[in-house]
Amino acid sequence: MTPYDYIEAQQDAFLEQLKEWLRIPSISTLSEHKADVRHAAEWLRAHFMLMGMARAEVFETPGHPIVYAEWLGAPGAPTVLIYGHYDVQPVDDPARQWRSDPFEPVVRDGKLYARGATDDKGQTFTQMKAVQSLLATGEMPVNVKFMVEGEEECGSTNAYAFVEQHADLLAADVVVVSDSHILAPDRPSIVTGLRGMTYMEIEVFGPSHALHSGAYGGIVHNPAQALAEILAALHDGDGRVAVPGFYDDVAELSAGQRTALAKVPFTLERLEHETGLTAPWGEAGYELHERLGIRPTLEVNGLISGWTGEGSKTVLPDTALAKVSCRLVPYQDPLKIYRLVADRVAALTPPTVRSEVRLLHTGNWVVVDLDSPYIRAAARAYEFGFGAAPVYVREGGSIPIIGTFQKTLGTPAVLLGFGLPDDNLHAPNERFHLGNFHRGMKTAVHFYQQLGGRA
């Protein structure tokens, strides 16, 4: 039996196993789900042993645990480190926006709906089942290590430290990450760049306590209004980030590089299909795919102040808070960007209120070497699994730990993503295309066979 036959035979079993994992609401950013996050880690460790890994261990961290597993039974062959994460995003209000319970996976129209279905339990599981298929059929051509963390959705801080502390344990020839998407089921793509991240909170403080808006309205600078004034001043009329120095370290691409990227434009049709919007927005002078792939951003992720319940409350709030994050590109430094934004907010804050900019977390951008043998192997694997040669794209998202693998371990990375652009990751009704689950396993098996010289 070949690994591919094994995948065919086990398809239904694999789906039921994945559903089991998805039922555990491992939301890392909410402390009320701490026990669920641990439960998801323990489930994973047990599953690694069941699928034939030689070792599987839960490592403690100051935050959520990290699951490590290995099978090193191919002496002399290359070693692959597969990174993934078992934590998931919050679900906001499930009753209002989800068509089905985010933690009761269901298949509709060939797609598996659940929080974490694509990001990243589903994609990590695709890798796990590819490895299992090779192990079960006695065909495993490489050594394999897994590092699956539980804090990717809240900054990966402890994962960075873990990589630095366990460089020997994690030593590998290549890092493989399945936590991104391809363009379409018949249009695979290889991610050659990812944006970095600086995530902050901007808080404006007004009066010492909330005031009656009649008794004080007109003589006190409303902190919600002051926050709006500050946020409005962080972009100019051309959609550029109006923070002095923000673009100083941004690499401008050559005309040739921009032409190469233009092979995968982001069309207005796609924008409307995926967002319902007919009018795009953004930095003047750049195409949509460039605004996403090679240009940095500053985004308001959340706002809260004063009365937000039903009806009316005539309050003049005491504070106003914005969650703000920047997506970064080569060669911007996340900490420098934090300092520039903090300085700009301080300069924009009038003497009538007080403000604070707090750093929540940072992550490095990633650029992949297109000429590496791993990328060439990935291209052939996609062609085998999906029936079409992949195109090369710069992604707007961030997987900051890849930068840490590159910097700390010196290990190149391959992003072997199997998601789709409309998977609704980080949003209600997240889903994973089951056709991609299946093709993804075949692609991964073929990739490892090539690395081991068997394909």
By C-beta, is 177 or 224 nearer to a copy of itself? 224
Count of CA atoms in the C-beta half-sphere (13 A) of 16:
4
**Nearest-angstrom CA–CA distance, 85 and 66:** 9
Q: Which of residues 28-57 bind a copy of itself (CB under 8 A)?
A: 29-31
**Backbone region of residue 52 per phi and psi (left: phi > 0; alpha: psi in -120 to 50; beta: other values):** left
- Helix or strand run (H / E) with residue 16: helix 3-22
Residue 356 interacts with a copy of itself (CB under 8 A): yes or no: no
Binding residue for a copy of itself (CB under 8 A) from 16, 62, 109, 308?
308
**Site for a copy of itself (CB under 8 A): which residue of 21, 125, 146, 266?**
266
184, 439 in Cβ contact below 8 A? no
By beta-carbon proximity to a copy of itself, the closer residue of 351 and 410 is 351
Q: Residue 74's CB: how many other CB atoms inside 10 A? A: 15
Q: Rounded distance, CA 394 to CA 78, Å?
A: 27
Min separation Cβ 72 and a copy of itself, Å: 34
Of 141-149, 222-230, 244-252, 371-379, the window that binds a copy of itself (rule: CB under 8 A) is: 222-230
Q: In what order do the strands lie in the sheet with 366-367?
A: 366-367, 189-194, 391-394
Using CB under 8 A as the binding rule, the residues of this chain from 227 to 256 that contact a copy of itself are 227-229, 231-233, 235
How many other C-beta atoms are found inside a 10 Å radius of the C-beta of residue 171? 13
Number of residues that bind a copy of itself (CB under 8 A): 96
ω into residue 331 within 30 of 0, thus cis? Answer: yes
Task: By CB under 8 A, tell whether 214 contacts a copy of itself.
Answer: yes
Is the CB of 51 or the CB of 231 nearer to a copy of itself? 231
Complex with a copy of itself: residue 350 or 387, whichever CB lies closer = 350
Is 264 a residue that touches a copy of itself (CB under 8 A)? no
Interacting positions 335-354 with a copy of itself (CB under 8 A): 351-352
Q: Pick out residues in 267-296 that bind a copy of itself (CB under 8 A).
A: 271, 274-277, 279-283, 288, 291-292, 295
Q: Where are the alpha helices (DSSP H) in 146-239?
A: 157-165, 167-170, 213-216, 223-232
Q: Tell me which residue of 135, 241, 234, 193 sits closest to 366, measured CA to CA.
A: 193
Q: Which positions from 111 to 130 touch a copy of itself by CB under 8 A, shown as an x/- string?
A: --------------------
Q: Does 300 bind a copy of itself (CB under 8 A)?
A: yes
Query: Mask of contacts with a copy of itself, 408-437, x by CB under 8 A?
Result: -------------x--xxxxxx--------
Residues 147-176 binding a copy of itself (CB under 8 A) are 153-155
Q: How far apart are CA 100 and CA 108, in angstroms?
A: 10
Among 306, 408, 454, 455, binds a copy of itself (CB under 8 A): 306
Q: Is 331 in the site for a copy of itself (CB under 8 A)?
A: no
- Residues of span 384-413 touching a copy of itself by CB under 8 A: 395-398
Candidate residues 12, 311, 371, 410; the one interacting with a copy of itself per rule CB under 8 A:
311
| Residue listed under structure tokens 């995968």 | 264
In which region does residue 387 sit, left (phi positive, over 0), alpha (psi from -120 to 50) or beta (all else)? Answer: left
- Choosing from 302, 373, 387, 453, the residue that interacts with a copy of itself (CB under 8 A) is 302
Length of the chain: 455
Selected from 22, 40, 210, 444, the binder of a copy of itself by CB under 8 A is 210
* Contacts with a copy of itself, 95-114, as mask; x by CB under 8 A: --x-----------------
If the CB atoms of residues 89 and 126 are measured against a copy of itself, the closer one turns out to be: 89
Query: Measured between alpha carbons, how far is 129 from 110 in angstroms, rounded to an integer?
Result: 19
Q: Which residues contact 434 (CB under 8 A, 6 or more apart)?
A: 15, 107, 110, 111, 112
Which DSSP category does 422 fall into?
T
- Give the residue, chosen from 207, 250, 372, 408, that forms a contact with a copy of itself under the rule CB under 8 A: 207
Instruction: Return phi, psi of residue 371, to 5°.
Output: -95, 0
Shortest reach from residue 107's CB to a copy of itself, in Å: 20
Residue with tokens 């003049």: 316
